[in-house]
Structure 1
Amino acid sequence: MTQPNILLLMTDQQRWDTLGSYGNSVVETANLDWLASEGTVFTHAYTPSPSCIPARASLLTGMNPWNTGVLGMGRGQGQMGTGFRHTLPGELATAGYHTQGVGKMHFYPQRSLNGFHHTQLDESGRVHDPGFKSDYRMWFERNRTGEYDFVDHGIGWNSWMARPYHAPEFLHPTNWTVNESIAFLKKRDPSKPFFLKTSFARPHSPYDALPFYFDLYANKEMPTPMIGDWASMHDCPEEAARPDAWRGVRSEEEIKRARAGYYGLIHHIDHQIGRLLQFMTDQKLLDNTIIVFTSDHGDMLGDHNLWRKTYAYEGSAHIPFIVRLPSSFGKMAKQVDTPVVLQDIMPTLLEAVGASIPDTVDGLSLLPLMRGETNFQRDYVHGEHSTCYSEEQEMQYVTDGKMKYIWFPRLGTEQLFDLTKDPCECQNVASDPNYKEQLLDWRNKLVLELAPRQLGLTDGDSLVCQAGKPPIVSPHYAERINQTR
């Protein structure tokens, strides 16, 4: 059998419940829903750390955040850096693949390859290296039709505000990302299979959907935010006044506009993915290509008076995850309810193409689950994020997609949600006597995850509050960075 090509489609900050195939009846995602109908939908996929850098480091390496050394985007945490012994594109390159990354990589240094043969970058507004300018921004400046910049719509990169895109449609970064993906397919080495990561910078804010898509959803009845009986702690009017507020109550009109922009961006991405898939069909590439679609994390969009990401809640931590294998792999499950994480992508793809899985990989191949086998060795997943917007939001969580336990190390408090009865996490049952045994069981699961770190997070039996203590830092980060110097 000819070695299959691989297309990894990735969005930025797309929550799990914004696809038709995941039950959303408002958003239009015809192309992704078609992929879902042809492949396997993982209903309980989670990010190991719900912000860009740590999530992408885990996807790149198949490693847990503790082992990548990046526990979030907050105090004590570094950039992704280099020096990983094994990466997904690097292992595929060794296996004979022509590898290309297009769009958002979030590497540091920004022109690092991390195993790719080449990258074409859209890094939004990030300039970490002296003189860095992304490929998208250079292209935008060459092709713009007037004296305007790519950020002249006036909305920040983490704002809750929304408005239609200010420039012609062809200049939108979503179009550029697919343009460059198609350009790679035209110029690739035809003697090798390809690995193409097409990584969109949206629907991450700014919520700047093209006018067609923005108006479409502005005129629809949109889902309203879920507000838990515990969420008043995030009302915070003094913080809500900020144009990039991470929490606080906004008006119904502002929330609807944000969601219209967000849904419009997803609809636009879906259309552009359709354009890429059509090109692959015309070139007779689609039938022998493994396709994975996922996101690094979600977006709260006002749920529980929260915006953006870094939280353990469903809107932030629960992600879409679809895998479509060529027909030569045989019949696969249409839906998998077992909890999975981004670390699983690397071993899944390596096993699928017959490449060795490095011993550094923490993730598990999902092929057994897709084949309907029952010996998969995971009952729940663990996620975390360091202090970012506020110390009180540093968190650790464990979930199987049915129950979820969250611990806030800097507060010493906990939450427990019964997702089967309360999928929107509106009732914290941690103090409900009917859930006493489940609370103890899930708390113990987290103790078992954290005990090997020997950082004082647990005494072996219970969790230890970290208020006033230095930030949690993984020693593996310094080890890796020092090896590259």
Structure 2
Amino acid sequence: MNILLLSVDQWRADCFGFLGHPAVRTPNLDRLAAESVVFRRHFTVAAPCGPARTSLLSGLYPFNHRSITNGTPFDARFPTLPGGLKLAGYDPLLFGYTDTSVDPRTLEPDDPRLLTYEGVMEGFRQIVDVNGDNLGAWLDVLEAKGYDRPERDGDIYLHAERPAQAQGFWDGPARYKAEDSDMAFLTDCVLDRLTQETGDPWFYHLVYLRPHPPLIAPEPYNRIIPRDRVEAPLPMGDGEAHPFLKVWAEQHQKGGYFDPEIDFSALSTSDGTAMRAVYYGLMAEMDFQIGRLLKALESTGQLDNTLLVFTCDHGEMAGDHGLWGKGGWYDGAYRIPLMIRDPKRRKTVGRQVQALTESVDVAATVMDWLGKKAPQSWDGVSLLPWLDGDTPPVWRDHVFWEFDFRDIESGTYEAALGLTPDQCTLNVWRSDNVKYVHFTGLPPLLFDLANDPGERHNLAGDPAWLGKRLEMAEGLLAHRMRHAERTLTNHKLTAKGVLTYEGPRRLG
């Protein structure tokens, strides 16, 4: 059977029509959710894009794979999902990107792949890319259609025409029509490939850049979301006084990331509303392209012969706590969508799972679905029992994620906070009701999610909460110890030969 691992970029977990969002329009993804098992409390274990995708495709926590920033090399020794698929007889095709920073020890010093973090994970055969510095194929098509090619490739994301009097964020249209967008181009490439399939099982990893910034959308999506439907962001709280967050917020107020033509630090409340509206508009555009894909799979008779996994790399703060982007510790940046449509398991369609799940579970699930063993080193757990309608007797009661904010190129955080690169890390240990944030070189944070779901009040220094803080810190430590890299740990050479333990990491 076929496998489609469909990933979007920077999509919050709450942004779907079927979840009752007041503004977002996602009819095609709503339909997919109704035909899938939906994991409602699913979290990425890393941000930004490179580390998140490395964990998704390697099944490893970032404290094991250590590709912890965009640009940190991924150790070539680790087994990955595309590698496992090749061993299972698939030719893993990539439409889009993985942002895998190649292991420099495997290349000659002058290899051009060492000049970018936007590499391709070993094991994939990349068909086309639309991301960052890799816009050439899309721009070639635009130029053939009569568009003016920008002097710099990235300028294709500027507005078609920004009025001189426009102040702050402006929601004018992009330079290209919706039918010619980056999303449409990538979808066209996949549809073309689908018509060439001969009947052999295939694996596609389809990765869309959107709704990742810049927050500039083609007509009608730039203004398709009424601003009066856009909900107010979560207000700031005392957590924003943390020294890390002050520096992080300053780094995300440099404009170009969200809109190259504005002073991000001078945005008004109405600017923030307009930015959210365009962010949701990009989601509507993305939903339309996913609808095209679902229709093509259905019309070619392949939809019910394809395992379809929909997820993303990480979320987006979207103005909550006065923040934009991804990183830090808030749920908005780490809680992400996961839907799995399994044609083998139709009795559980529409099930919404409330258990805590993590992005490292996806690779293990795909391998289990194929009847293959996941590598010993992987940290994720197969989700197939949930697809079967079961509730596993032992399941995690916490989720983990890591954010590494070192920058050995600029030294921004190191200089501002008086830290070494190896001190620029935070770990999050989150249960149903409590979140603990541990920094390597800065004060911790603690939030009572039951009574403070917006994470506005830091209780780490409250004497009444010191017992819970200790309990969470001990839980985080035990989790890291339990999941220490174990490629050969559970092997033993004996007079009887090599013995191997392949059971669970914990009981109860």
Q: TM-score by structure 2 length?
A: 0.78
Is 1:103 aligned to 2:96, yes or no? yes
Whether the 8 Å CA contact 2:213–2:257 is kept in 1: the answer is no
Distance in 2 (CA, whole Å) between partners of 1:442 and 1:363 is: 21
**In structure 1, which of residues 176, 199, 203 is the aligned counterpart of residue 185 of structure 2?**
176
Shift, 1:154, TM fit: 3.6
How do 1:57-206 residues align onto structure 2 when only pairs under 5 Å count? 57-73=54-70, 78-80=72-74, 83-108=76-101, 109=113, 110=118, 112=120, 114-125=122-133, 134-148=136-150, 151-154=155-158, 163=171, 164-188=173-197, 190-206=198-214
**In structure 2, which of residues 397, 404, 419 is the aligned counterpart of residue 379 of structure 1?**
397
Query: Could you say what secondary structure the match of 1:395 adopts?
Result: strand
Distance 1:244 1:432, change over 3 A: farther
Distance 1:362 1:240, change over 3 A: closer
**In structure 1, which of residues 300, 303, 318 is the aligned counterpart of residue 317 of structure 2?**
300
Shift, 1:327, TM fit: 4.6
Is 1:243 aligned to 2:262, yes or no? no
Aligned to 1:321: 338
**In structure 2, which of residues 318, 322, 328 is the aligned counterpart of residue 311 of structure 1?**
328
Task: Among all aligned residue pairs of Structure 1 and Structure 2, give the percentage whose two residues are the same amino acid.
Answer: 29
Is 1:47 aligned to 2:44, yes or no? yes
Question: Where does the alignment leave 5 or more consecutive residues of structure 2 unmatched?
Answer: 102-112, 160-167, 259-263, 407-411, 418-423, 485-508
What's the RMSD between the two structures over aligned residues?
2.9
Whether the 8 Å CA contact 2:96–2:131 is kept in 1: the answer is yes
Shift, 1:324, TM fit: 1.4
Distance 1:244 1:442, change over 3 A: farther
Aligned to 1:419: 449
- Higher Cα Rg: structure 1 or 2? 2
How do 1:214-229 residues align onto structure 2 when only pairs under 5 Å count? 214-229=222-237
Shift, 1:182, TM fit: 1.1
Query: Could you say what secondary structure the match of 1:270 adopts?
Result: helix
Distance in 1 (CA, whole Å) between partners of 2:266 and 2:236 is: 13
**In structure 1, which of residues 16, 24, 32 is the aligned counterpart of residue 21 of structure 2?**
24
Distance 1:429 1:333, change over 3 A: farther
Is 1:444 aligned to 2:453, yes or no? no
Distance in 1 (CA, whole Å) between partners of 2:250 and 2:34 is: 46
Aligned to 1:274: 291
Whether the 8 Å CA contact 2:60–2:378 is kept in 1: the answer is yes
Shift, 1:394, TM fit: 3.9
Distance in 1 (CA, whole Å) between partners of 2:289 and 2:41 is: 26
Task: Render the CA deviation track for 1:227-260: whole Å, top value 9, x for unaligned.
Answer: 2321553678976763248996731121112111
Distance 1:248 1:141, change over 3 A: same
Distance in 2 (CA, whole Å) between partners of 1:305 and 1:358 is: 41
Number of aligned residues:
435
Aligned to 2:501: none
Distance in 2 (CA, whole Å) between partners of 1:416 and 1:42 is: 25
Distance in 1 (CA, whole Å) between partners of 2:301 and 2:192 is: 16
Shift, 1:118, TM fit: 3.5
Question: Where does the alignment leave 5 or more consecutive residues of structure 1 unmatched?
Answer: 127-132, 455-485
Distance in 1 (CA, whole Å) between partners of 2:215 and 2:275 is: 6
Query: Could you say what secondary structure the match of 1:202 adopts?
Result: coil
Amino acid at match of 1:145: Y
Q: TM-score by structure 1 length?
A: 0.81
How do 1:314-353 residues align onto structure 2 when only pairs under 5 Å count? 314-328=331-345, 330-331=347-348, 334-353=351-370
Shift, 1:450, TM fit: 4.5
Distance in 2 (CA, whole Å) between partners of 1:306 and 1:292 is: 29
Amino acid at match of 1:176: F
Is 1:368 aligned to 2:385, yes or no? yes
Task: Render the CA deviation track for 1:400-446: whole Å, top value 9, x for unaligned.
Answer: 343211123232x1222232333222232334455443222112112
